[in-house]
């Protein structure tokens, strides 16, 4: 009897699959659950976005990457570039482990004035500032901060010869440096986390750093270790306020990992905030370690997060890769009842992926169904009903449901029947999102991809990012409502980026 080698059979299936795809597209990124318009590495493990910087021509996305396995391990910086944060080009690995350790999260800046002396006036360096993790060193001191530089806009990298540039003072969790140029004090500022608080350092040259202040031991959420800080200014009504992002793991509002924010002031040395309540960048379980871009062309504040959660990230049923990034989002401030809040909305450039479907505007009075055509969809809904339910369904009767309760100001998302959940016991817990139902309708901006949904409530006043692993695409939306209706305002197909 003739037998076929599995690799050969695999090749035949790949060929068959390729034949059923449009001829003008590359035959990649069609695996089960593969995000179609979110960034994901072609293979192996990814976590946090790192080194988010625009170099004058292109956006860079570096990311925590383990090139040899689908679970976390010795970290490298993977690399991708983009002109618009929508379409991505994979690049070779940027930073490899060295004698100081593996490469944890951090940031990147363009040192245009060559303050570091690592480039020249004509060839200013891109400088990456990251944490080293020495797995063999003592826990109390095995995380330090190092730098590396590139003179060809991120293509090739050289580690600074005298790393680390910040030694460990005896803090077991001492990491994730975010550096930015602070115009008012003409200095580089570095924010890092040390277990349960943030530390700020300043420098003239990105090499010599001096501790200037600490923040946060007694404020905010402390259900887990503080990670991935980011500090940046945002303007509202002609006034500048400073926003601090802090990721915590565990201790998020829906379990596991999440990112909180503080609004306050920064004087070049210290960050201060009067905020007493805990605020979340995203209520969902699947937006972690998000930070913002340095040096954006129009000064906008652009954010990307890691679309997963440490509770189950290493077990999700995807192959040959694990994890994706959230949609890039523009951050802004909003004032409500004399309080400032952070808003996030999907970046404008994503509109190039949308092509409108036609629809009947009022289809969701009391109840209705919408044929989604595919599971790559963007929907804008105006919900005036006091209570309503949206259910995404497929032919296998899997269902992802979103219940909006405008009396309570609460959205309940249930992914327990939305496909595979058995890889981790926490995955089927209900997800609760709080929002302010102050006006007579609630706007929902829904972006659904092959294995994720992002819900932006009232132009991003509340956000939730949720993964699911449905074997077949959700192609139908069923809606029911009580005391009022749901108006469909926009319905777009979202095209794939690969």
- Binding residues (CB under 6 A) for ligand FRU: these are 47-48, 64, 75, 104-105, 131, 175-176, 227-228, 289
Q: How far is CA 67 from the centre of its chain?
A: 20
One-character DSSP codes across 291-312: EE-BS-TT---EEEEESS-TTT
Is the bond into 260 cis (omega within 30 degrees of 0)?
Answer: no
Q: How far is the CB of 469 from ligand FRU (least distance, A)?
A: 21
64/187 with CB nearer ligand FRU: 64
Which residues, at least 6 apart from 13, have a Cβ–Cβ distance to it below 8 Å?
A: none
Closer CB to ligand FRU, 131 or 492, in the complex: 131
Q: Which residues pair with 66 in a beta bridge?
A: 45
Residue 139 in tokens: 């826990």
Of the pair 290, 419, the CB lying nearest ligand FRU is at 290
Minimum distance of ligand FRU from residue 47's CB (angstroms): 5
Question: Is the distance from CB of 321 to CB of 70 less than 8 angstroms?
Answer: yes
114 vs 3: CA distance, rounded Å: 63
Question: Between 48 and 230, whose beta carbon lies closer to ligand FRU?
Answer: 48
Handedness of CA 182, 185, 187, 189 (dihedral sign): negative
Q: Which residues are catalytic?
A: 48
Nearer to ligand FRU (CB atom), residue 287 or residue 330: 287
Least Å from the CB of residue 175 to ligand FRU: 5
Of the pair 2, 139, the CB lying nearest ligand FRU is at: 139
**Which residue's CB is nearer to ligand FRU, number 75 or number 463?**
75
Residue in the structure block whose two tokens are 């060839």: 123
Separation of alpha carbons 351 and 328, rounded Å: 12
Min separation Cβ 137 and ligand FRU, Å: 15
CB of 146 to ligand FRU, least distance (A): 12
Q: Which residue from 470, 462, 463 is spatially nearest to 438, judged by alpha carbons?
A: 462
The minimum distance between CB 166 and ligand FRU, in angstroms, equals 14
Residue closer to ligand FRU (CB basis): 143 or 394: 143
Rg (CA), the chain: 23
CB of 310 to ligand FRU, least distance (A): 7
Q: What whole-number distance in Å separates Cα of residue 364 and Cα of residue 440?
A: 17
Contacts for 111 with CB less than 8 Å, ≥ 6 apart: 118, 119, 124, 125, 126, 127, 149, 206
Measure CA of the first residue to CA of the last residue in the chain; give whole Å: 41
Please state the closest distance from residue 201 (CB atom) to ligand FRU, in A: 17
Residue with tokens 């001096």: 210
CB-count burial class (<10 Å; 0-12, 13-18, 19+) for 308? buried
Torsion of CA 134, 137, 143, 144, to 10 degrees: -90
Contact 480, 369 (CB under 8 A): no
């Amino acid at each position: 009897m003739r037998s076929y080698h599995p690799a050969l059979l695999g090749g035949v299936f790949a060929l068959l699959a390729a034949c059923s795809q449009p001829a003008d597209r590359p035959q990649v990124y069609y695996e089960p659950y593969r995000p179609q318009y979110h960034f994901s590495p072609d293979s192996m493990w990814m976590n946090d976005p790192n080194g988010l910087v625009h170099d004058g021509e292109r956006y860079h996305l570096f990311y925590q990457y383990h090139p040899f396995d689908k679970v976390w391990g010795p970290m490298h910086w993977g690399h991708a570039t983009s002109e618009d944060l929508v379409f991505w080009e994979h690049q070779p690995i940027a930073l490899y482990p060295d004698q100081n350790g593996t490469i944890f999260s951090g940031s990147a800046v363009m040192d245009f004035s060559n303050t570091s002396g690592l480039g020249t006036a004509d060839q200013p360096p891109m400088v990456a500032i990251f944490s080293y993790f020495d797995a063999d060193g003592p826990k109390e001191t095995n995380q330090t901060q190092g730098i590396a530089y590139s003179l060809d806009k991120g293509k090739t990298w050289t580690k600074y010869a005298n790393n680390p540039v910040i030694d460990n003072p005896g803090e077991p969790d001492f990491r994730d440096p975010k550096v930015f140029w602070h115009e008012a004090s003409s200095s580089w500022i570095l924010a890092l986390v040390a277990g349960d608080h943030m530390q700020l350092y300043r420098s003239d040259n990105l090499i010599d750093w001096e501790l200037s202040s600490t923040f946060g031991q007694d404020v905010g959420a402390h259900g887990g270790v503080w990670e991935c800080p980011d500090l940046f200014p945002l303007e509202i009504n002609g006034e500048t306020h400073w926003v601090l992002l802090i990721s915590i793991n565990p201790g998020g509002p829906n379990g596991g990992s999440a990112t909180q924010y503080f609004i306050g002031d920064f004087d070049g040395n210290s960050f201060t905030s009067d905020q007493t309540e805990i605020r979340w960048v995203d209520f969902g379980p699947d937006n972690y370690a998000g930070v913002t871009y340095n040096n954006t062309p129009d000064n906008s504040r652009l954010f990307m997060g890691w679309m997963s959660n440490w509770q189950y990230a290493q077990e999700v049923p995807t192959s040959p890769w694990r994890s994706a990034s959230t949609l890039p989002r523009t951050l802004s401030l909003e004032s409500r009842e004399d309080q400032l809040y952070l808003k996030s909305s999907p970046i404008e450039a994503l509109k190039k992926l949308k092509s409108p479907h036609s629809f009947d505007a009022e289809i969701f009075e009391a109840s209705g169904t919408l044929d989604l055509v595919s599971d790559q969809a963007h929907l804008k809904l105006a919900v005036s009903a006091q209570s309503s339910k949206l259910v995404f369904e497929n032919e296998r009767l899997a269902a992802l449901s979103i219940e909006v309760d405008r009396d309570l100001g609460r959205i309940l998302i249930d992914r327990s029947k939305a496909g595979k959940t058995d890889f981790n016991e926490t995955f089927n817990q209900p997800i609760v999102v709080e929002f302010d139902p102050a006006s007579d309708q609630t706007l929902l901006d829904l972006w659904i991809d092959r294995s994720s949904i992002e819900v932006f409530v009232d132009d991003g006043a509340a956000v939730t990012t949720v993964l699911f692993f449905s074997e077949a695409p959700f192609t139908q939306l069923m809606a029911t409502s009580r005391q009022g209706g749901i108006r469909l305002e926009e319905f777009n197909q979202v095209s794939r980026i690969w």
